[in-house]
């Protein structure tokens, strides 16, 4: 495994990434010193096996002030498979802080700060552990197969005056896809009011498992963006959640009740997205 020491060999994060050979097959760690890196960063699909490692999500920040197209304006864009980030915050003014569309991508102790479309979790299998995600409008969206574990989801709707916030806009399009967002042992905090999600596509799938909700969740819990009439196909579920926002007595009637077997397929990491052990293999290199 190669390592770039963080002692100033490169003046930008992008220059360090560009120095790694295309079609690299050796895990390479890029160490980022504490500080604010004001730049856009992109990892193209020909640059797999990269680890971006900061000094802490509060002290190592990659930031840009763009807005506009949610697929083009991201501060950080990942297209390569086999990627890890640790202890870094990705930040933007309005557009996505990060766009993730490479398979087998994992984030540990990372932050994602924005307002709308903060985390474009687009395509692939992704794992987020002990992360912090902040926003107000559809701020976790896309059609990936992702597990968010032990993470904080912070709603900022009151501060920016958007009315009601929408945490997720999940984009599963067919019954045959594995696409879903699963929040396991997470906490939803902030100012609200907020919906846990709104259906972005016909088979939108989001599960909150053993998570806690502040008193900011709209009593209905869930909403539909453009998919009215497809409620029977949508899988929105809360399992063993707690906190003042977890009262399900007034939730939408089409929220699903999962069987024990269905629950396990979502919340068991091995069954949901780690069948080939890629998460454990990656951890060996952190």
CA–CA gap between residue 140 and residue 149 (Å, rounded): 14
Quickly state the pLDDT bin for 67 (edges 50, 70, 90). Answer: confident
Instruction: Kindly tell me the burial class for residue 68, based on how many C-beta atoms sit within 10 Å of its own C-beta (0-12, 13-18, 19 or more).
Output: exposed
Q: Which of 100, 92, 99 is nearest to 36 (CA)?
A: 92
Q: Has residue 74 got a pLDDT over 90? A: yes
* Averaged confidence pLDDT in the chain: 94
- Residue limits of CATH 2.160.20.10 in the chain: 1-111, 136-286
For residue 94, the model assigns a pLDDT of 79
Tokens matching residue 5: 């020491």
DSSP secondary structure string, 29-60?
EEE--SEEEES-EEE-TT--SEEEE-S-TTTE
**49 Rama sector, left if φ>0, alpha if ψ -120 to 50, beta otherwise:** left
Residue in 103, 121, 138, 214 annotated catalytic? 138
Backbone φ, ψ for residue 281 (5° rounding): -65, -40
Quickly state the pLDDT bin for 158 (edges 50, 70, 90). Answer: confident
Which pLDDT tens digit goes with each residue over 21-34?
A: 999 999 999 999 99
Q: Has residue 6 got a pLDDT over 70? A: no
Residue in 117, 121, 214, 218 annotated catalytic? 117
CATH domain 1-111 topology: Pectate Lyase C-like (2.160.20)
Of 91-95, 109-113, 142-146, the range with the lowest mean pLDDT is 91-95
Of the two residues 151 and 4, the one the predictor is more confident about is: 151
% residues pLDDT > 70 (the chain):
98
Which pLDDT tens digit goes with each residue over 95-109?
A: 899 999 999 999 999
Q: Specify whether 214 is catalytic.
A: no
Quickly state the pLDDT bin for 161 (edges 50, 70, 90). Answer: confident
Tokens matching residue 106: 């994992």
Which pLDDT tens digit goes with each residue over 246-265?
A: 999 999 999 999 999 999 99
Helix boundaries (H) for 147-277: 157-160, 260-267, 269-272
Q: Specify whether 103 is catalytic.
A: no
Chain centroid, CA 186 distance in Å:
12
CA–CA gap between residue 114 and residue 136 (Å, rounded): 8
Is domain 136-286 classified as CATH 3.40.50.920? no
**pTM score, whole prediction:** 0.96
């Amino acid at each position: 495994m190669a390592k770039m020491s963080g002692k100033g060999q490169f003046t930008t994060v992008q220059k360090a990434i560009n120095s790694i050979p295309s079609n690299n097959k050796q895990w390479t760690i890029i160490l980022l010193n504490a500080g604010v890196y004001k730049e856009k960063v992109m990892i193209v699909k020909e640059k797999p096996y990269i680890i971006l490692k900061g000094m802490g999500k509060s002290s190592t920040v990659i930031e840009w002030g763009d807005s506009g197209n949610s697929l083009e304006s991201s501060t950080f864009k990942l297209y390569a498979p086999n990627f890890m980030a640790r202890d870094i915050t990705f930040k933007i003014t309005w557009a996505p802080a990060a766009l993730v569309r490479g398979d087998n991508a994992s984030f540990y102790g990372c932050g994602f700060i924005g307002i709308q479309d903060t985390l474009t979790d687009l395509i692939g299998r992704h794992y987020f552990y002990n992360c912090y995600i902040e926003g107000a409008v559809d701020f976790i969206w896309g059609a990936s197969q992702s597990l968010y574990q032990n993470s904080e989801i912070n709603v900022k709707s009151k501060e920016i005056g958007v009315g009601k916030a929408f945490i997720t806009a999940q984009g599963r399009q067919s019954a045959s896809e594995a696409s879903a967002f699963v929040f396991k042992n997470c906490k939803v905090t902030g100012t609200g009011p907020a919906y846990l999600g709104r259906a972005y596509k016909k088979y939108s799938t989001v599960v909150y498992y053993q998570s806690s909700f502040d008193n900011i969740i709209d009593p209905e819990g869930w909403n539909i963006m453009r998919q009215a009439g497809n409620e029977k196909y949508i899988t929105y579920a809360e399992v063993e959640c707690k906190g003042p926002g977890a009262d399900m007595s007034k939730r939408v009637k089409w929220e699903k009740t999962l069987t024990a077997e269905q629950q396990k397929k979502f919340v068991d990491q091995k069954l949901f997205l780690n069948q080939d052990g890629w998460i454990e293999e990656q951890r060996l290199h952190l």
